[in-house]
Amino acid sequence: MNAHTPLLADSSPTDLARAPHGLGVHVARLGHSFGAKRVLERIELDIPAGQFVAIVGKSGCGKSTLLRLVAGLDTPSTGRIDFDGPRDAAATRIMFQEPRLLPWERVLANVEVGLPASVKGEERHRRARAILAEVGLADRADDWPSVLSGGQRQRVALARALASGPRLLAFDEPLGALDALTRIEMQGLVERIWQQQRFTALFVTHDVSEALALADRVVLIDAGHVALDLAVELPRPRRRGSAELAALEGRILDTLFSS
Amino acid sequence: MSLVERGARLSAAIAGARHARPRDARRQHARPAATRLAVLEARLAGWVLPALLVVLWEYLSRIGVIAPNVLPAPSAIAQAGWAALKSGELLRNMWVSTLRAFAGLFVGGVIGLAFGIANGLSELSRRYTDTTLQMIRNVPHLALIPLVILWFGIDEEAKLFLVALGVFFPIYINTLHGVRTVDPQLIEMGRVYGMSPLTLFRRVILPGALPSIFVGLRFALGIMWLTLIVAETIAASSGLGYMAMQAREFLLVDVVVLAILIYALLGKLADVLTRWLEERCLQWHPAFQARRD
Ligand SMILES: Nc1ncnc2c1ncn2[C@@H]1O[C@H](COP(=O)(O)OP(=O)(O)O)[C@@H](O)[C@H]1O
Ligand SMILES: [Mg+2]
């Protein structure tokens, strides 16, 4: 597993300097409303560089809203979000629940969508191929997205998100639509790539056990606030169904349903 | 809007028809003779009935059941075709008609495409122009023929104007529909991944609207030939329609039928051309992937 070569080992020095470092995120007094409807009240969250944070909560509690604000897709109604250092366009990437691949472009071209415009010509193909190999789809570069399975499409989307060597990667339930076995496989892939690249990961999921399998820290959102902020200090790779994980899962679910 | 719905249904029907066709033909050319024969049979099956009908028609004409001044025998039409071909008159008229058809398609199509894209992208542009365009749409364009003759006489402009007007609407409406129904999630993805407005249009919006634009093109082709036939029949001094009208004056029924058949042939040709274009442009579409093995 760990014998894999680093993803961007043969990239230019600037990418090397940037890629392995996560981006620290500081969310202070963050609130957000849609019209009269207040979705987030007051979120406080400090995420150190390179941490893997899972965000859980009931459906409609504002997880996606929070993620979109942090990723810069929307601007918050109140409060602020600060980053440790500059946050240029390619430094933050988001992966959606749907793969959102361009059906009219082949897999390789779809991955190239994620590359910064500064990468030109042949180099684009080379890099996209390298990243595609990393997610295990090297042989599908010339296929149309429509012939791939759901899990494979989501892997292409992951490759596209990774292509620019982001320092912050936001996941919005990226595995939510996959079957159980493909999910477990994808969780392994996400964990492995995060360990190699050390970007800051913000991972929204409705599956508490998934959050516990992957994250350094699980944040529970409820009624517009952080209801629980739980460090998961268990060694990786974590064994599914272990007593420690079960105990943590119990705590999270208790908090979730006691409110 | 019913045109859009019909368009959607048509494209579904096209896709369906493609699936239904025996397309194993291409794949099996290396198979044994028996299978090859079966493939040949599958290919030719559609032509058996027309061939039989022509034979029957010829037979009925020869024994005098069909009078030659009502419907000439296929052989007589072929002879008329050969004569017209030799004199160069047929090719010249075909060329004139084809040129007119495609010039009109080009002018009307480009304008339709431009308005469709502009109104699909810009709320402002749509607010100001869509109502007007929809109002004009309700005037049957062939009803304008008398007015058009008054304006342009029977010159080329008359035909160009009518064909362009006729093809404008299907292309406009289907382009508008296509642009407006591009998956918003893909557009958001493009923005998030830093595409410039131009790149977003080129890589996301235009390809997304293309299947719908093709539906519009198919409608437009039908309207194009229809408009041209009517216009050439009423107001022209060359072209296939004119050839047919001249022949009528001299009671040359065989030439009239010939002109009708050639219109059908040209229509079919335009259809084949679109299909070829569609196959090249929509390779990614699952409906077309089944074709290529
Ligand atoms: N663009 C929007 N306009 C209006 N309301 C929205 C919008 N996006 C989300 N909401 C509302 O905000 C709430 C939180 O949504 P969301 O963040 O998507 O929840 P979650 O991802 O936790 O399921 C929901 O009640 C939803 O209806
Ligand atoms: Mg959500």
Four-point Cα dihedral B173, B176, B179, B183, nearest 10: -70
Four-point Cα dihedral B45, B15, A147, A154, nearest 10: -170
| ipTM confidence | 0.86
**Which residues in chain B touch residue A94, judged by CB atoms under 8 angstroms apart?**
192
In a domain, A1, yes or no: no
Ligand 2 centroid distance, CA of B226 (Å): 52
Predicted local distance difference test score (pLDDT) of residue B20: 40
β-strand partners of A37: A34
Q: Pick the residue with more confidence: A159 or A6?
A: A159
Q: Are strands A200-204 and A168-172 parallel, antiparallel or unpaired?
A: parallel
pLDDT of B212 over the 70 cut: yes
The total of structural domains in chain A comes to 1
Flag whether residue B205 sits within 8 Å of chain A, measured between CB atoms.
Answer: no
Distance from CA of B25 to the nearest CA of A (A): 22
- Is-above-0.90 flag for pTM? no
In a domain, A3, yes or no: no
Main-chain phi, psi angles of A88, to 5 degrees: -80, 170
Q: Pick the residue with more confidence: B95 or A89?
A: B95
Contact (CB, 8 A) for A150 and A101:
no
Residue A110: give the domain boundaries: 8-258
Please write the tens of the pLDDT for every residue from B271-291. Answer: 888 989 998 889 888 888 765
In a domain, A86, yes or no: yes
CA distance A185 to A78: 39
CB contact under 8 A, B204 and A102: yes
Please write the tens of the pLDDT for every residue from B251-260. Answer: 889 999 999 8
β-strand partners of A226: A221
pLDDT band per the 50, 70, 90 thresholds, residue A4: very low
Predicted local distance difference test score (pLDDT) of residue A85: 80
Q: Which residue of A has its CA nearest to B208?
A: A104
pLDDT band per the 50, 70, 90 thresholds, residue B153: confident
pLDDT band per the 50, 70, 90 thresholds, residue B117: very high
Of the candidates A230, A171, A163, the one whose C-alpha atom is nearest the C-alpha of residue A200 is: A171
Indicate which CATH number applies to the domain containing A92: 3.40.50.300
DSSP for chain B, written as a single string: -HHHHHHHHHHHHHHHHHHHS-GGGGGGGGS-HHHHHHHHHHHHHHHHHHHHHHHHHHHHHHTTSS-TTTS--HHHHHHHHHHHHHHTHHHHHHHHHHHHHHHHHHHHHHHHHHHHHHHHH-HHHHHHHHHHHHHHHTS-GGGGHHHHHHHHTTSHHHHHHHHHHHHHHHHHHHHHHHHHTS-HHHHHHHHHTT--HHHHIIIIIHHHHHHHHHHHHHHHHHHHHHHHHHHHHHS-SSSHHHHHHHHHHTT-HHHHHHHHHHHHHHHHHHHHHHHHHHHHHTTTSHHHHTT--
CB contact under 8 A, A144 and B289: yes
Please write the tens of the pLDDT for every residue from B7-60. Answer: 444 444 444 444 444 444 444 455 677 788 888 888 888 889 989 999 999 999
CA distance B220 to B105: 8
pLDDT of B126 over the 70 cut: yes
From chain B residues 225-244, the ones with a CB under 8 A of any chain A CB are none
Tell me which residue has tokens 């810009």: B122
In a domain, A211, yes or no: yes
Of the candidates B55, B209, B234, B52, the one whose C-alpha atom is nearest the C-alpha of residue B143 is: B234
Main-chain phi, psi angles of A93, to 5 degrees: -130, 155
Q: Are strands A168-172 and A25-34 parallel, antiparallel or unpaired?
A: unpaired
- Fold for B72-289, please state it: MetI-like fold (1.10.3720)
**Which residues in chain B touch residue A91, judged by CB atoms under 8 angstroms apart?**
none
CB contact under 8 A, B286 and A146: yes
Ligand 1 shell residues, CB under 6 Å: A 34, 39, 57, 59-65
Main-chain phi, psi angles of A235, to 5 degrees: -65, 155
Q: CB within 8 A of A233, min separation 6: which ones?
A: none
Euclidean distance between the first and final Cα of chain A, in Å? 41
Peptide bond into A86 cis (omega under 30): no
| Mean pLDDT for chain B overall | 85
CA distance B33 to B40: 10
pLDDT of A209 over the 80 cut: yes
